[in-house]
A = this chain, B = another copy of it.
């Protein structure tokens, strides 16, 4: 058994469950005989490079519980991309990391993040593989986008989906109160995949109301057809609600919302989007002249822990603990994944998968989850999604607001 200390970091965009996974890693480390002390690196891999970290071994049960219900990365995040492991001119970055690991007897490194963070796990594990220092590197997925390959779903998605479905149900009530013709366009996150937008359909199964039209980025978006789809929806009732992904693209690949922020990219080369709903709002306005409103669910999709899914948080803790167990049992260069058991009753098991088969890939919403006309999701999709939003966590309220845990002063 490899005995030593462990360090955990968080990376990528916040979710409502990323701290539940952190709590799971801490719980797993504290319970394991192989791990002496567990540290947290502030701002992901940057904290190790800058020597900014905190010991987490002695958090109380009350603190761990609060941490599980605290949104956004309690250790902070980063968007830093490691250089290629074979780029000798940048080896100093890796040397600095190894120096920290050696001098603190760190034998286990856990990185909680999305697609881009798995890239960091893959590179670090690859670089360490031929070094004279035994160490285990494990990725633990989190992303509201649910677009990580190899796993049935990702921690964080269920809570985001529950917020989206709950908000959509409330917006459907809100928009139904007037009798005049009106279109409400709800823009939902998801640059490359439509998993989050698909969650807008969930109220249908639960209370019989749903958006009239749902457009995912998996299908090319045609403005003309959209306006025709709207015409059909008006024939049913005057208040039309449309759910759209921020990542909608035309057949030629240009983003529908590109006008507003064209040219801006983040460090991973992703285009910065903000205008899909607004673009459609203007198109509907000029075509129909009716009341149109676009609503961006925006940041709350990834941080609304007050309406988190208890299933999601429970699984997020489990996958953190499982990461420690897998590492202690000898796994490295792996990401922890969920496998859903077949059959009607929902249950998942957790297993490690080769990180090289996961990093930098995108898992899209499959064809059978989208209706043939591309304006909604199928019942099969809803059956997949529904178990992920079940249950409400016990949230501690103090003075009327949810209580959170701060790891930084």
Contacts and interface: CB of A to CB of B under 8 A. Distances in A.
Q: Please provide the 4 A-B residue pairs with the shortest distance between their CB atoms, ordered closest to farther.
A: A389-B400, A72-B173, A174-B303, A77-B177
Copies in the complex: 2
A149 interface: no
Interface stretch (A87-95, A114-122, A160-168, A225-233): A160-168
B400 A178 contact: no
B307 A307 contact: yes
A76 B176 contact: yes
A259 interface: no
Nearest to A311: B400
A167 B304 contact: yes
Contacts of A167: 300, 304
A185 B366 CA distance: 36
Contacts of A402: 166, 169
A26 interface: no
Contacts of A22: none
Given A174-B71, A176-B76, A400 B299 contact: no
Interface in A178-199: 178-179, 184
A401 interface: yes
A175 B72 CA distance: 8
Contacts of A293: 299
Q: Which of A10, A174, A389, A392: most chain B CB closer than 10 A? A: A174
A170 B72 contact: yes
A171 B295 contact: no
A303 B76 contact: no
Q: Which of A173, A179, A401: most chain B CB closer than 10 A? A: A401
Nearest to A18: B177
A329 to B, nearest CB: 31
A102 interface: no
A151 interface: no
A295 B295 contact: no
